A = this chain, B = another copy of it.
Amino acid sequence: MSKSYRVAILGATGAVGTELIELLDRRNFPLAELKLLASPRSAGKTLPFKGEQLEVEAVSEEAFKGIDLVLASAGGSTSKAWAAKAVAAGAVVIDNSSAFRMDPTVPLVVPEVNPKAAADHRGIIANPNCTTILMAVAVWPLHQVQPVRRIVAATYQSASGAGARAMEEVKAQARAILAGETPTAEAFPYPLAFNLFPHNSALDERGYCEEEMKMVNETRKIFDAPEMQISATCVRVPVLRAHSESLNLEFSEPFDPDRARDILARSPGVRLVEDWQANYFPMPMEATGRDEVLVGRIRKDLSHPCGLELWLSGDQIRKGAALNAVQIAELLVKENWLQPATAAVSS
């Protein structure tokens, strides 16, 4: 008889939360119980799971009693407020927020890249940022063959990165513009429909936004490559779901594009999408709802002898968030790393 687990989803009503519920079902995660937690505001709502309606409970210390695993996706402040309490109650927390990602005692894990890092958890494992995960899945297989020295990234990020409300806002804006009306913006600082703008997260003193620095710092941590040089420009575009990225990679020696293609064609989590005759490459439309990161348009960089250009699209909510978290949970189960670690965390 295989073991099963009592799982709680914190932030169950959000875009990532609902995806987590669907993935636990679809991937047959060994559940003994599924508890849906959210802010008191959402308590009492019901969400479908395996043909039943599960009621959402308000998060509380009491709610974590007996829970083995918490999948948290309710934002940084909620994670900061509740993660230690969940761990104290005996659970392991896989946290989708940025709260603990750069904490040196917290593993930051992309299962295709650094699964072993998860073994060292002290109760909390962090799920990286969406743009970082998508880039990491595509770049890691090449980095294994020949170290990447430098990445210049430009992103094309969908509204889903700002949640379900932002996706609805973009649709409402598009309707207004098509009707000749002036669109309004609340989830975003400016209208996004038929427009785009650099990512609106907080800027540091050098002019880089948080989203960009996540790509820099998280990638270095996941790859255990503190010396890797990364510069990113993150841009929100009027796509509903799935992010795209243009990546310029620099190696220490020339990297043959065909070799890169061969490697990526058999890399986990990657789907090579390239039809040069049809000018057909990864698109958010086709990445939406898929598990894999679509990678293609692999070309020799015209401007540097050791450069490679590639293009990717990946579902930001799926592999960029919920799927990666569920894959970490599956890894913990498989490796028997799901034991509580209260003592270590409380020290």
Which A residues are within 8 Å of any B CB, using their own CB? Answer: 150-152, 154, 156, 171, 174-175, 178, 189-191, 194-198, 200, 202-203, 206-209, 216, 229-231, 233, 235, 237-240, 244, 246, 248, 257, 276, 278-281, 283-285, 297-304, 307, 309, 311
Contacts and interface: CB of A to CB of B under 8 A. Distances in A.
Q: What 9 A-B pairs come out closest when comparing CB atoms?
A: A154-B154, A229-B303, A231-B303, A207-B299, A195-B285, A154-B246, A233-B246, A231-B302, A197-B283
Contact of A304 (B150, B154, B195, B280): B150
B276 A248 contact: no
A254 to B, nearest CB: 13
A154 B190 CA distance: 22
A69 B208 CA distance: 47
How many copies of the chain does the oligomer comprise? 2
B152 A197 contact: no
Contact of A285 (B191, B202, B297): B191
30 contacts: A151-B303, A152-B152, A152-B303, A154-B233, A156-B156, A174-B194, A189-B278, A190-B285, A194-B240, A195-B239, A195-B283, A196-B239, A196-B284, A198-B279, A206-B300, A206-B302, A207-B257, A207-B300, A208-B299, A209-B279, A231-B248, A231-B302, A231-B304, A231-B309, A233-B246, A233-B297, A235-B244, A237-B237, A238-B238, A238-B239
